[in-house]
């Protein structure tokens, strides 16, 4: 498998051009019209983006435990890309009409409400699986909850540009980071003390990571995962939860569970402890992936990426 470009160097499907039109169709003509309108864009992406096709096929093959990528049909790869397109527009829809996504199933809602009652915030570890923006519905219905979402600068700029062009009101705090600076850590720590939550997607290696990643077994092969989210969690000295929000037949569902009372990295066994935390997260990620595999949105060679 050829080495893949860094994920940040790969443009995502129709981010500004085309997405404005598709979002207009979704908002004004409804989901059925959108399903028809999005197909040419998905087909074009499928035909022209070789990295997306082959990386999707590789992921699905590893997920199925098949003996070779030829065991995964191109029809399933197309379905994977089509699901990504639907999730991408939902990300915009939740900003414009969050009520249309209610009710969002959150069977373990009490676990975060209990954390809020302590007066301190927490770290929420997620991944590029499903649609984390749906959590806005939860924050909107819980007045005292504030979510600070750490995002990569380049993609955040493009997404924020799109939100401005669509005249959408943004309630969540998007904190643009390419590298974690002391100033950012202090800012986040203050937020934790005010009872705010910090959301980190822990499946991609950020730009400028300078080798801060670990090779962890993921779906039967070694893949790189970032150290940063877990180091940050240890600095914030607060509880950590995993949080995934995926789309099902009856709408979206949020799944949340306690990951650790606190991420503790002792000096003597720091490397071993850090690897153990990352491995534990990867195990939880695998479990959630198997529930909704086509909602995985990493369209680059995850197991052989240029870092």
- Whether the predicted model's global pTM rises above the 0.75 cut: yes
Query: Which candidate, 177, 86, 87, places its Cα nearest to that of 132?
Result: 87
Q: What is the pLDDT of residue 87?
A: 86
Long-range contacts, stretch 32-40, CB < 8 angstroms, 24+ apart:
34/89, 35/86, 38/82, 38/85, 38/86, 38/89, 39/82
Q: Which two tokens stand for residue 161?
A: 């540009």
Query: What distance lies between CA 9 and its chain's CA centroid?
Result: 17
Residues 68 and 56: beta-carbon distance below 8 Å: no
Long-range contacts, stretch 215-222, CB < 8 angstroms, 24+ apart:
216/275, 216/278, 216/279, 216/282, 217/279, 217/282, 218/282, 218/285, 218/286, 218/302, 218/303, 219/59, 219/62, 219/63, 219/286, 219/289, 220/62, 220/65, 221/62, 221/303, 222/303
d(C-alpha 241, C-alpha 259), whole Å: 5
Q: What is the pLDDT of residue 212?
A: 86
Q: What residues of the chain score a pLDDT lower than 50?
A: 1-2, 7-8, 13-15, 67, 69, 169, 171
Instruction: Tell me the β-bridge partners of 247.
Output: 252
d(C-alpha 58, C-alpha 300), whole Å: 10
Residue-wise DSSP of 178-202: SS--HHHHHHHHHHHHTT-EEEEE-
Say which residue the tokens 């009409």 belong to: 97
């Amino acid at each position: 498998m050829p080495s893949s470009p860094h994920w940040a160097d790969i443009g995502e499907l129709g981010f500004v051009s085309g997405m404005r039109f598709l979002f207009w169709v979704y908002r004004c003509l409804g989901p059925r019209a959108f399903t028809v309108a999005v197909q040419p864009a998905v087909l074009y992406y499928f035909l022209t983006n070789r990295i997306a096709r082959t990386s999707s096929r590789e992921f699905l093959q590893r997920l199925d435990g098949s003996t070779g990528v030829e065991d995964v049909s191109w029809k399933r790869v197309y379905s994977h890309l089509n699901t990504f397109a639907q999730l991408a527009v939902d990300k915009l829809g939740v900003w414009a009409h969050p009520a249309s996504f209610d009710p969002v199933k959150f069977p373990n809602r009490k676990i975060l409400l209990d954390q809020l009652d302590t007066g301190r915030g927490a770290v929420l570890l997620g991944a590029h699986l499903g649609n984390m923006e749906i959590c806005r519905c939860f924050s909107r219905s819980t007045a005292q909850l504030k979510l600070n979402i750490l995002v990569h600068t380049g993609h955040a700029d493009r997404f924020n540009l799109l939100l401005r062009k669509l005249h959408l009101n943004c309630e969540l705090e998007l904190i643009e980071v390419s590298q974690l600076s002391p100033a950012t850590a202090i800012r986040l720590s203050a937020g934790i003390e005010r009872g705010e939550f910090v959301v980190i997607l822990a499946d991609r290696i950020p730009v400028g990571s300078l080798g801060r990643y670990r090779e962890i077994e993921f779906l039967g092969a070694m893949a790189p995962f970032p150290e940063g989210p877990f180091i940050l969690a240890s600095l914030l000295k607060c509880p950590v939860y995993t949080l995934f929000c995926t789309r099902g037949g009856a709408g979206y569902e949020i799944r949340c569970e306690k990951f650790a009372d606190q991420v503790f990295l002792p000096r003597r066994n720091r490397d071993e402890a850090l690897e153990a935390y990352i491995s534990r997260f990867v195990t939880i990620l695998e479990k959630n992936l198997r529930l909704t595999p086509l909602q995985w949105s990493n369209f680059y060679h995850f197991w052989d990426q240029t870092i």
